[in-house]
Amino acid sequence: MRVAILAHEKFPDRAKTALGVLRYADYDAAAVLDRETAGDRVSDFVPDVQDAPIVEGMADLEASEVDALLIGIAPIGGDFDESWREDVRTALEYGCDVIAGLHYFLEDDEEFARLAAENDCDLWDVRKPPEDLTVSEGVAGEVDAEVVLTVGTDCSVGKMTVSMELARDAREAGYDAAVIPTGQTGIMIEGWGNPIDRVVSDFTAGAVEEMIVEKGDEHDYLFVEGQGSIVHPAYSAVTCGILHGSMPDRLVLCHVAGRDAVHGYESFSLPSIETYVDLYESLSDPVSEAPVVAGALNTAHLEDDEAREAVDDYAAALDAPATDVIRFDTDEVLEALLE
């Protein structure tokens, strides 16, 4: 499938979804839409992802060049930005499907619903949970696959990226590994999944369990995309539901080098790495014994030598192998996870 990726005024630094799709999805990127950087190419900004031209809008593409428009940015609040309407309209008139992870559902927009019907297009609101979710039965532990869950010290520490990188490297090393996506970007990349942060709170664990049960006998390893942190003042419920719903066998603790307070809630200090290890292991234990056997550290803001040292310190604090999955190799970490 050939996709155009909308990222107006935010590519690349504030376009996490667009970058994730360019880096990990099987889609062919026809173009990135960004009226600010139009005329450049993706490779002018980001060297290590799929390249594509950057254009001003859908009207710069031919209908024959693209199969879907994907909204690759998420404004605060998850609203639809009216400055995108012309692009979505053009896409639907071209016969393209539209994929979005906004809180505002495209299928509830009268114009988009009508245009989609007229042009036989799908509107896929990935943040809309399926209707048939329910409470967990407590059976995720029964699947054949070994379940690896990425957990974090905070939001936005790279759990999705770590899950994708580890699954990809495991596959390249010959293992049968799949990702269980739990958030909008992961779902867009994988093309399926339940948006765990949008389900009814009573169904949080159940919505994860359903995915584990669906895929757990088809693969040898499942890498579950974690969310939030178990001590996040706002999002810990989602984290806890994923921990117990996925019934993991092993945990990877994800962290950003140097972060010492909850992002956006800076009056709350992050506890020590040792405390996180204790918390995740002791909380998981009554449901599923799951040691933290590896760590992933995001060092994007550090120089090379500082990054190496930070990873070594992190591994020492964890008493387990660690890496930055983007910057360094994942050999030791995978060895701990896939033994």
Q: Which amino acid is at 89?
A: R
Residue 230 near a second copy by CB under 8 A? yes
- Which of the stretches 8-16, 42-50, 117-125, 197-205 binds a second copy when contact is defined by CB under 8 A? 197-205
Q: Which C-beta is closer to a second copy: that of 64 or that of 267?
A: 267
- What's the rounded Cα separation, in Å, for the pair 261 and 270? 5
Q: In the block, which residue shows the tokens 């579950």?
A: 224
Cα→Cα distances 40→11, 21, 95, 234, 320, Å: 11, 19, 26, 39, 42
Instruction: Please select the residue that binds a second copy; options are 38, 240, 326, 338, rule is CB under 8 A.
Output: 240
- What's the rounded Cα separation, in Å, for the pair 196 and 239? 9
Residues composing the chain:
339
Q: Which C-beta is closer to a second copy: that of 18 or that of 199?
A: 199
Instruction: Please select the residue that binds a second copy; options are 10, 16, 128, 198, rule is CB under 8 A.
Output: 198
User: If DSSP codes are grouped into helix, strand and coil, which group holds residue 310?
Assistant: helix
* Other CB atoms within 10 Å distance of the CB of residue 156: 14
Residue 189 near a second copy by CB under 8 A? no
Q: Which amino acid is at 194?
A: N
Smallest separation, CB 202 to a second copy (Å): 4
Q: Which amino acid is at 110?
A: E
Binding characters for a second copy, 114-153, by CB under 8 A (x = yes): ---------------------xxxx---------------
Q: Which C-beta is closer to a second copy: that of 130 or that of 233?
A: 233
* Subset of 250-279 contacting a second copy (CB under 8 A): 262, 265, 267-271, 275, 278-279
Residue 101 near a second copy by CB under 8 A? no
Smallest separation, CB 298 to a second copy (Å): 20
Residue 117: partners with Cβ closer than 8 Å, 6 or more residues away: none
Q: Which amino acid is at 73?
A: I
- If you ran DSSP here, which 8-state letter would residue 108 be given? G
Instruction: Please select the residue that binds a second copy; options are 235, 297, 302, 334, rule is CB under 8 A.
Output: 235
**Interface ranges with a second copy (CB under 8 A):** 135-138, 196-206, 230-241, 243-245, 247, 262, 265, 267-271, 275, 278-279, 282-283, 285-287
